[in-house]
Amino acid sequence: MPFYILDREHVNAKLSTDFNNYPSGIVIPLDKPYKWTSADAVRKIKFMLQNFFKIRNIKVGHAGTLDPLATGILLICVGNATKEAEKLQQEEKEYLAEITFGCTTPSFDKEKEIDAYFPYEHIDKPLIETSLTKFIGEQDQIPPLFSAKLVDGKRAYEIARSGNSMELKPSKITISELNIVTYEKPLLVLQIRCSKGTYIRSLARDLGYSLDSGAYLSGLVRTSTGIFNLKNSVKIEEIESLLKQI
């Protein structure tokens, strides 16, 4: 039996308070709030579900980390659906990314202050289009230092925030689509389709360097992962409202 999907179509339907009625578990395509970590979302939803189902030991996890400064689809897996999390993570993902040219930050996004400035007036749309072709296909990508990558048993961001230096190994990733949505200097909006493990922050950094400039990720929305898309996702407030129906 497939897991129950608590999406836009079902968020106004009555949910059974008997968790045994969901033997394959539940998957929630959450529109993650800005500045929430993926772990924050899991904790919040777990607390609500524990109260709703009156079960203390309920398994809740997610299928693919989304950075705190990003919004959009984060798949929350509940009960036996947590066994499918790894499979769900393998699906292709799609993003809308805003990239700012002319400066860089240590985190490659807005988490850290700008640390360097570069010329960007020479960057026009044809130049960007030419450069984007270099990033299509399978490639090695170096993750950001401020990331959840494990280094000797520690998260890279923990080491970076402590001020210690390190070198991250490149990861194999695949980018299948890169389309310009808008470009008004110095802001570029890209539609991106890519594999699991792709860091859009690293893409922003690398694109800036390829254009003889600097760049950082100034905004990110995950618009789809596998069969799940942002249009059918639910907000945390809607889940709260649904789980208060008794």
Q: Which residues pair with 95 in a beta bridge?
A: 192, 222
Structure tokens at 68: 């705190």
Q: What is the mean pLDDT of residues 197-208?
A: 97
| Same-domain check for residues 24 and 114 | no
Instruction: Using alpha carbons, select from 21, 2, 4, 6 the residue that is nearest to residue 242.
Output: 6
Q: Over 70: is that where the pLDDT of 1 sits? A: no
pLDDT of amino acid 246: 53
| φ/ψ (deg, to 5) at 216 | -145, 160
| Same-domain check for residues 38 and 64 | yes
| Same-domain check for residues 102 and 164 | yes
Among 7, 31, 40, 67, the active-site one is 67
| φ/ψ (deg, to 5) at 172 | -80, 125
| Same-domain check for residues 31 and 85 | yes
Query: Is 67 among the catalytic positions?
Result: yes
| Same-domain check for residues 81 and 184 | no
| Same-domain check for residues 66 and 9 | yes
Helices (H) and strands (E) in the chain, counts: 6, 14
What domain range includes position 113?
Answer: 93-225
Q: How many domains does the chain have?
A: 2
| φ/ψ (deg, to 5) at 190 | -115, 145
| Same-domain check for residues 59 and 99 | no
Instruction: Indicate the pLDDT class of residue 242, thresholds 50, 70 and 90.
Output: very high
Instruction: Indicate the pLDDT class of residue 160, thresholds 50, 70 and 90.
Output: confident
Structure tokens at 86: 């790894």
- How far is C-alpha 215 from the geometric centre of its chain's CA atoms? 19
For 75-98, how does the pLDDT look when each residue is reduced to its tens digit (9 = 90+)? 999 999 999 999 999 999 999 999
For 20-31, how does the pLDDT look when each residue is reduced to its tens digit (9 = 90+)? 999 999 999 999
CATH, residue 138: 3.30.2350.10
Q: Which residue has the higher pLDDT, 164 or 179?
A: 179
